[in-house]
Amino acid sequence: MKKFQVIFLPSGRRGEVPEGKTVIEASRELGVGIESLCGGNRSCGKCKVRWIEGRLSPFTEEEANLITESERVKGYRLGCAAQILGNVQIFIPEESRTQEQVIRKEASQISIELKPVLALRYVELSPPTLHDPLGEFDRLQKALSEKYHLPTKIHIDYPALLRLSQVLREGDWKVTVATWMDEEILDVKPGRVEDLYGVAIDVGTTTVAGYLCNLRSGELIASQSMMNPQVVYGEDVMSRITYTATHPDGLEKVHQSIIDALNQLIGAVAQRSGLSSEDILELTIVGNTVMHHLLLKIDPRYLGISPFTPVIHRSMDVKARDLGLKLHPSANIHILPVEAGFVGADNVGVLIAEEPYRQDEMVLIIDIGTNGELVMGNRERLLSSSCATGPALEGAHIKFGMRAAPGAIERVSIDSKTLEVNFKTIGEKDWQLKSKRASAIGICGSAIIDVVAELFRNRVINQGGGFNKNIPTPRLRISAEGPEFVVAWKDQTSIGKDITITQQDIRNVQLAKGALYAGAKLMMQKLGIEKLDQVILAGAFGTYINAEAAMILGMFPDCDLRNVHAVGNAAGDGARIALLNRDKRVEADEIARKVEYIELTIEHDFQKEFIDALSIPHAKDPFPHLRGVLNEE
């Protein structure tokens, strides 16, 4: 097979790539990051690159849909369409580069009753003699039964058995035994051992977070996050399903990439704490249903088509070695149950962390990751649903949208008199009007909500979301694609152009918030309630969202703003809780079956509610708690 030299600019990364590979494939082989939201489907236009010299395949019609004529003459191509046909040099514009994610999955302070599945038991054995030649394991089992009343049928995991002889002698027949659920011996160590360790993992579509815990004290020793490397196979869960369905070995590749990532993450978090991966005896994992399936190497294709059935709902215990995870050779993995095709183990994590099923108050929990999940109810009854919000609230399908990475505008305010804009960029300490730094690259989710809410508050857009063309400001202008509002002027950015929010962007935000709102309204109808007592914003996104702006937009039904809370990464909290308390695992399995999943798309009223909910604020809702917040006419 012919190979050609490919050079990526500005990084200068270079290497040989087989003829016919796409630019995106070449970039993956050479370890260069190019954005790809649609998974190489030639539909998102986020992977635009600029040809410098050399031979690529001819410009296609599909590219013409996403690349303007003026871009085309400058050499712009789609990375997923253009193929390498000779030695080439390719420039990756800043907007198209994969950014290192700002990790927002910090662990919350939670108090957890300690009752782990693992326990350490110290025993002293008498060595065998000719008159008492009972086998080594049988001797150990007898001692464990006598001293700790462990069942006589306790099982020893095969790798632990292999080391038993040596360990018993190293410890001079005094050993510490690590047991799992009082059913299985995972390890035997010489002498007295006090501590044992586990890791709770939250596999998000975009971010993977690991929390290393001491299972004796419950202490959170270290936490660490990294990007989910599967993003190169598609930004959202649907693109990843598509990737696995349309590429030979696709499932294997996508699965292996998360396994490799977990090995790396766990190795790193252990090392930071003076431990090694081999010290980790237990892992708990949460993630949405697609992440759950891909991690297990289960074909996710039926999650993508009606009736969206998962292969398995209930929690699973699997040996780490069966998944290729390099922990202690006998380590077990506990994967929390999933609720439904679109409400996964991450939401179950949220549930056992927030425990709405123990409350009298009527609670709405919104967990916005790369998808929107809603839980509503109290101790009487609990509903869950999933909203196809689209990725707009995370910055995708937005003209200048991007993930929460350095250079992303994360906060926006508009002066109600001058309509001047001030904004804060990730990586900068001060707001732009003070810092005067020109570091903005794009807009991330929290700022998108801010912008739309501020535009509405200042009547730059109306209830329908349309621009009010009578507003006298140079920021509101008509481009070739329609009206748009300038958030950052060219000289305030590092990409050499104005960063704007377009009419289409606002429509996308309306679709997202409308879906969440309609979902919540429908769930209220189902529950027969008129008002919410509490709203909990969960998810990495939720930590940073401005509750007031979200309420102005009408992202959720009216609620006293004092009762709207952001709880951070509640899914990760749930994984930690399951790691430290075995009763909570039982609770998780029970609640995952008990919560009633509402498939919104088949609800009769959903479409109507949804259309009503596109307005800002919701047309039929008085939003009493917003009085005085909006600029009334």
Site string for a second copy, 558-597 (x = CB under 8 A): ---------------------------------------x
**Does 131 interact with a second copy (rule: CB under 8 A)?**
yes
Contact between residue 152 and residue 145 where contact means Cβ atoms under 8 Å apart:
yes
Rounded Cα–Cα distance for residues 180 and 281 (Å) = 9
Q: Does 138 bind a second copy (CB under 8 A)?
A: yes
Residues near a second copy (CB under 8 A), total: 47
CA angle 213, 219, 223 (to 5 degrees): 50
> 562 or 604, CB closer to a second copy?
604
Minimum distance from residue 14 beta carbon to a second copy (Å): 39
Q: Does 470 bind a second copy (CB under 8 A)?
A: no
Does residue 617 have a cis bond before it (omega within 30 degrees)? Answer: yes
Quick check: bond before 622 cis, omega within 30? no
Piece of the chain touching a second copy by CB under 8 A; list 23-31, 68-76, 109-117, 318-326: 318-326
Minimum CB separation of residue 156 from a second copy in Å reads 8
- Closest contact distance (angstroms) between CB of 126 and a second copy is 12
Least separation in angstroms between residue 166's CB and a second copy is: 7
Q: Which residue stretch of 317-325, 369-377, 522-530, 544-552 sits at the interface with a second copy (rule: CB under 8 A)?
A: 317-325
Using CB under 8 A as the binding rule, whether residue 246 contacts a second copy is answered as no
Tally Cβ neighbours within 10 Å of residue 331.
26
Contact 522, 600 (CB under 8 A): yes
308 binds a second copy (CB under 8 A): yes
Residue 192: left (phi > 0), alpha (psi -120 to 50), or beta?
Answer: beta
13, 247, 297, 381: residue in contact with a second copy (rule CB under 8 A): 297
Give yes or no for a contact between 577 and 583, defined as CB atoms under 8 angstroms apart.
Answer: no
Q: Is residue 184 part of the contact set for a second copy (CB under 8 A)?
A: no
Q: Which stretch binds a second copy (CB under 8 A): 27-35, 158-166, 365-373, 406-414?
A: 158-166
Measured CA angle at 252 (ends 318, 226), to 5 deg? 75
- Name which of 295 and 520 has its Cβ closer to a second copy: 295
CB nearer to a second copy: pick between 452 and 598: 598
With beta carbons less than 8 A apart as the criterion, state whether 480 and 438 touch.
Answer: no
* Residue 314 found at the interface with a second copy (CB under 8 A): yes
**Closest to 210 measured CA to CA, from 492, 590, 575, 522:** 575
Residue 66 or 161: the one with the smaller Cβ distance to a second copy is 161
Q: How many CB atoms lie within 10 A of CB 89?
A: 16
- 309 binds a second copy, rule: CB under 8 A: yes
Phi, psi of 552 (to 5 degrees): -60, -45
Q: Which is nearer to a second copy, 158 or 380 (CB)?
A: 158
The residue from 12, 274, 307, 528 that contacts a second copy (CB under 8 A) is 307
Near a second copy by CB under 8 A, which window of 71-79, 130-138, 191-199, 482-490? 130-138
Question: Among residues 73, 602, 624, 627, which is the contact residue for a second copy, using CB under 8 A?
Answer: 602
137 binds a second copy (CB under 8 A): yes
Q: Which of 93, 114, 109, 88 is nearest to 45 (CA)?
A: 93
Q: Applying CB under 8 A, does 128 fall inside the site for a second copy?
A: yes
Note the residue count of the chain.
633
> Binding to a second copy by residue 322, rule CB under 8 A?
yes
Judged by CB under 8 A, does residue 248 bind a second copy?
no
Q: By three-state DSSP, how is residue 492 classified?
A: helix
User: Is 282 a residue that touches a second copy (CB under 8 A)?
Assistant: no
Segments of 476-616 assigned E as strands: 476-479, 482-488, 499-502, 534-538, 564-568, 596-598
Q: Please report the sign of the dihedral spanned by the C-alpha atoms of residue 439, residue 389, residue 36, residue 485.
A: negative
19: enclosing H helix or E strand: none
Q: Which is nearer to a second copy, 73 or 602 (CB)?
A: 602
Tokens for 616?
Answer: 């800002």
Residues numbered 336 to 375 that lie near a second copy (CB under 8 A) are: 338, 340-341
Interface with a second copy, residue 294, by CB under 8 A: no
The token pair at 437 is 């730094």
Query: Cβ(450)–Cβ(541) under 8 Å?
Result: no
Residue closer to a second copy, measured from CB, 303 or 506: 303
Considering only residues 109, 130, 149, 474, which one is a binding residue for a second copy as defined by CB under 8 A?
A: 130
The single residue listed with the structure tokens 């395949």 is: 57
Binding mask 497-536 for a second copy (x = CB under 8 A): ----------------------------------------
Considering beta carbons, is residue 227 or 340 the nearer one to a second copy? 340
Per CB under 8 A, 158 contacts a second copy: yes
Nearer to a second copy, 261 or 303 (CB): 303
The rounded distance, in Å, linking the Cα atoms of 259 and 265 is: 10
Q: How far apart are CA 345 and CA 543, in angstroms?
A: 20
| Choice from 66, 103, 134, 471 touching a second copy (CB under 8 A) | 134
Q: Is 165 in the site for a second copy (CB under 8 A)?
A: yes
480 binds a second copy (CB under 8 A): no
Cis amide linkage into residue 307, ω under 30° from 0: yes
Phi, then psi, of 338 in degrees rounded to 5:
-110, 155
Residue spans of alpha helices (H) in 288-344: 289-296, 320-323
Give the integer Cα–Cα distance in Å for 521 and 524.
5
Chain centroid to CA 232: how far? 15
Q: How far apart are CA 458 and CA 415, in angstroms?
A: 8
Closer residue to a second copy in complex, CB, 141/389: 141
State the Cα–Cα distance between residues 151 and 507, nearest whole angstrom. 62
What stretches of 34-92 adopt beta strand conformation (E)?
48-56, 76-78, 84-91
By DSSP bridging, strand 155-156 and strand 184-190 are parallel
How many C-beta atoms lie closer than 10 Å to residue 187's C-beta? 27
Nearest distance from C-beta of residue 155 to a second copy, angstroms: 8
x-or-dash pattern for a second copy, window 54-93, by CB under 8 A? ----------------------------------------
- 479 belongs to the binding site for a second copy (CB under 8 A): no
CB of 192 vs a second copy, minimal distance in Å: 22
Q: CB under 8 Å to 608, separation ≥6 — which residues?
A: none
Residue 1 interacting with a second copy (CB under 8 A): no
User: Contacting a second copy (CB under 8 A), which of 94, 278, 299, 612?
Assistant: 299
Instruction: Pick the piece of the chain touching a second copy (CB under 8 A) from 65-73, 159-167, 197-205, 496-504.
Output: 159-167
Q: Which residues bind a second copy (CB under 8 A)?
A: 128-138, 141, 155-156, 158, 161-162, 164-166, 296-299, 301-302, 306-314, 316-319, 322-323, 338, 340-341, 597, 599, 602
